Amino acid sequence: MRHHTPNALRFARRLAACGVASLLVLPLLGCRTNPRYDVLEAELRTRERELADARAALDQSRNLLRAYEASQSRGGAAPAAGGGPFLPVKEIALARGTGGVDEDAAPGDEGLMVVIVPKDEDGSAVKVPARAHIAAWEVSPAGLKTPIGSWELSSDKLRRTWKSGLISTGYFVALPWQTPPSTDRVRIAVRLVTTDGRTYEADRDVSVKPPLMAAPRAPGAPRVPSPLPPDTEELPPPAPVERGARFLTPEKQ
C-alpha cells in the first residue's frame, strides 16, 4: 500500500497565511474599543447632519425656483417692486394649538394662542416675512357673533413668534383677551399680508374656557376697590369687526 507523506512546505505556507490574516484582523477588532474610533464615529454623524441640512436648503431653493417659474408661466403675482424675492406661499392655515391659553391657577383662559402656518405648493410650512391682522368673536349658542378683540402684528413682531415643533410649525402668537368671552366658542380670523403684497386669509372656530364672571355685589356689602392705580384711564373696548376672515375690510392699496 502506498502512503502519501505530508507536504511540509505547503503546510508551512498555509500556517504563515493564517498568521498574517490574524495579524490584520486583530488591529481592526481593537479599533472598535479604541476611543479614537468613537471620536471618528461622532464626527461622521456630524457630517451626516450637515449633509442633511444642506440637502434641505437645496430643496427649499428648488421649491422657490419652481414657484417663481410657475407664477411667471401663469402670469400671476410678480416679485415685489425693487427686486424683492418672490415668496412661495399658496395658502395659510390655523394649525393645532390654536385655542385658549390657561397658565395660571385661576379658572378660565387668560387669552388666545393662534398658530398661523403659511404653506407652499407642497403643503409644507414656510417662514415668510409678513404682517398679520387677527380678529376674534364670541359665538352664542344661537350662532350670533360678538367681537371681542382685534390685534395687529408687524412683520418684525410676527417673525419673533416662529417656532418649529413636532405637532405644529408656524407663527405661535399669544394674545391676551381684550374683552373676555362669555361663551365657550370663539371664532378666530387671520389675515396675513406678505412683503410682496399678497394677502391670505383663514378662520376657525375653537373651544375656550371663559373666565368666571364676577358675582353681583350683595346689598350693603363693602365695595371692592379697583385694582387699577389712581388716575388710570381705562381704555375703551376695541373697535367692532363685523364678520369672519373672508369678510374683513379689504386692504388699502
What beta strand segments (E) does 36-184 contain? 91-94, 99-101, 111-119, 130-139, 145-153, 162-164, 169-176
CA-to-CA distance for 233 and 228, rounded, in angstroms? 9
Binning the chain into helix, strand and coil, the percentages to the nearest 5 are 30, 25, 45
- pLDDT at residue number 153: 96
DSSP 31: H
Which has more pLDDT, 176 or 44? 176
Rounded to an integer, the average pLDDT of 119-133 is 92
Q: Which residues pair with 150 in a beta bridge?
A: 135
pTM (two decimals): 0.55
In 3D space, the residue among 245, 26, 48 whose CA is nearest the CA of residue 134 turns out to be: 245
Question: Per-residue pLDDT for 233 more than 50?
Answer: no
In 3D space, the residue among 169, 173, 182 whose CA is nearest the CA of residue 134 turns out to be: 173
Cβ atoms 188, 244 nearer than 8 A: no
- pLDDT at residue number 51: 81
> pLDDT tens digit string along 183-213?
999 999 999 999 888 999 999 999 999 987 5
pLDDT bin (cut points 50, 70, 90) of residue 70 is low
Cβ atoms 51, 32 nearer than 8 A: no
Which has more pLDDT, 169 or 66? 169
Single-letter residue type at 231: D
Single-letter residue type at 119: K
- pLDDT at residue number 165: 80
Question: Per-residue pLDDT for 24 more than 60?
Answer: no
Instruction: Measure Cα distances from 139 to 17, 85, 120, 121, 123 in Å.
Output: 86, 40, 32, 33, 30
Rounded to an integer, the average pLDDT of 116-120 is 94
Rounded to an integer, the average pLDDT of 211-235 is 49
Buried b (16+ CB within 10 A) or exposed e, 77-93: eeeeeeeeebbbbeebb
- pLDDT at residue number 216: 45
Q: Which residue has the cell 378660565?
A: 108
